[in-house]
Amino acid sequence: MGESIKVALFGASGRTGQAVARAGAAQGLLIRASLRETTRAILPSTVEIIRGDLGDANHVRDTIAGTIVVCCVFGPGPPYTDVFCARATELIVNAMHRVGVRRLICQTGAMIGRDVANWTLPVCLMVRMFRWQRPAVAADRTRQEELIRESDLEWTLVKPPRLTDGPARGRVLADVDTRIGLLSKISRADLASFLVGECVAPRYLKQAVYVTW
Ligand SMILES: NC(=O)c1ccc[n+]([C@@H]2O[C@H](COP(=O)([O-])OP(=O)(O)OC[C@H]3O[C@@H](n4cnc5c(N)ncnc54)[C@H](OP(=O)(O)O)[C@@H]3O)[C@@H](O)[C@H]2O)c1
């Protein structure tokens, strides 16, 4: 089904990224993974690796050129202080326009952005605390989403709650109206299947979709 689909994967070294690479390769997707110079990752042998920096426009363009789908699953790791997502996303959107790639799938998070209607009251309070503790990171991720929504690309924002490394259950609840509570979660394995599904057959074009168990 996905034999000829070429996917540029940004954030491929992360736990979601490696799960996407595995799930995508298993479905026959041709994956080109962007990795930082010193990053190590266990990726299937069919994955093409391009080393470079997400802040380097040439690296971003070279990763995207010749693909037909871009999938972004990067985000700051502990201590969650890196501010780079909006800038990297801007470079990705610009490069997609330049080389003529239209489909963009980007994972952010259920607590990023302004979709208050999707949050239970405790989650609203957590979002408020996160913004107070990490204002620059929170603003960066919100801007990342805005850049994608403002683009005229065929985008999908994928917004999971807490991620686990547990086994796949083989089912995902995905909806734009899903309410996220403090106990909401999803495994990276199921999330990766969902992301690969969106690479193969888009179902949520120009939508922000919440994905949980
Ligand atoms: N963890 C959660 O519970 C949770 C919940 C909801 C949403 N999310 C979001 O889901 C996505 C994936 O999460 P994850 O926990 O699976 O990811 P992860 O394992 O923390 O991996 C993060 C990825 O982002 C890259 N990255 C981090 N800082 C970078 C920088 N300054 N420049 C370039 N690349 C950088 C990492 O590259 P290196 O390997 O080179 O560092 C890695 O590929 C992220 O956007 C995250 O915010 C996470």
CATH number at residue 106: 3.40.50.720
pTM: 0.97
Q: pLDDT at residue 1 above 60? A: no
- 29-49 pLDDT, tens per residue? 999 999 999 999 999 999 999
SS3 189: helix
Q: How far is the CA of 80 from the centre of ligand 1 (A)?
A: 9
Query: Per the domain annotation, does 10 fall within a domain?
Result: yes
For the record, the structure tokens of 102 come out as 């239209």
* CB contact set of 158 (below 8 Å; sequence gap of 6+): 105, 106, 107, 108, 191, 194, 195, 198, 209, 211
Quick one: 142 exposed, middle or buried, by C-beta within 10 A (0-12, 13-18, 19+)? Answer: middle
* Mean pLDDT score of the chain: 96
Write out pLDDT tens, residues 119-156. 999 999 999 999 999 999 999 999 999 999 999 999 99
The conformation of residue 153, written as its DSSP 8-state character, comes to: S
Residue 74 Cα to ligand 1 midpoint, Å, equals 4
191-203 residue pLDDT tens: 999 999 999 999 9
Query: Which of 73, 112, 188, 191 should be mutated for ligand 1, with most atoms under 8 A from CB?
Result: 73
> What's the rounded Cα separation, in Å, for the pair 108 and 156?
10
Around Cβ 7, how many Cβ atoms within 10 Å? 26
Structure tokens at 95: 């490069």
Residue 77 belongs to a domain: yes
Give 104's strand partners: 70, 155
Percent of the chain with pLDDT over 70: 99
Mean pLDDT, rounded, for 151-179: 96
Per-residue pLDDT tens digits for 63-83: 999 999 999 999 999 999 999
Q: Rounded CA gap, 28 and 210, in Å?
A: 26
- Total structural domains within the chain: 1
93 assigned to some structural domain: yes
> Which residues contact residue 141 at a Cβ distance below 8 angstroms, ignoring those fewer than 6 apart?
75, 85, 86, 108, 109, 112, 113
- 69 within domain boundaries: yes
Q: How confident is the model at residue 3 (pLDDT cuts 50, 70, 90)?
A: low
Range of the domain at 199: 6-212
Q: Which residues line ligand 1 (CB under 6 A)?
A: 11, 13-17, 36, 39, 54, 73-77, 82, 84, 107-109, 160, 162-163, 188
For residue 106 the two structure tokens come to 């980007």
Residue owning tokens 């599904």: 197
CA dihedral sign of residues 84, 76, 202, 29: positive
Is 116 domain-assigned? yes
Point out the ligand 1 atom lying closest to the alpha carbon of residue 111.
6
Write phi, then psi, for 93 (nearest 5 degrees). -60, -45
* Coil, strand or helix at 99: helix
The DSSP code for 170 is S
Distance from residue 15's CA to the centre of ligand 1 (Å) = 8
pLDDT at residue number 122: 96
pLDDT value, residue 195: 98
pLDDT at 97 over 80: yes
CA distance linking residue 131 with residue 111, whole number of Å = 10
Residue 53 in any domain: the answer is: yes
Supply the pLDDT for residue 2. Answer: 42
Let me know if residue 1 belongs to a domain.
Answer: no
Lookup result for tokens 């997502």: 85
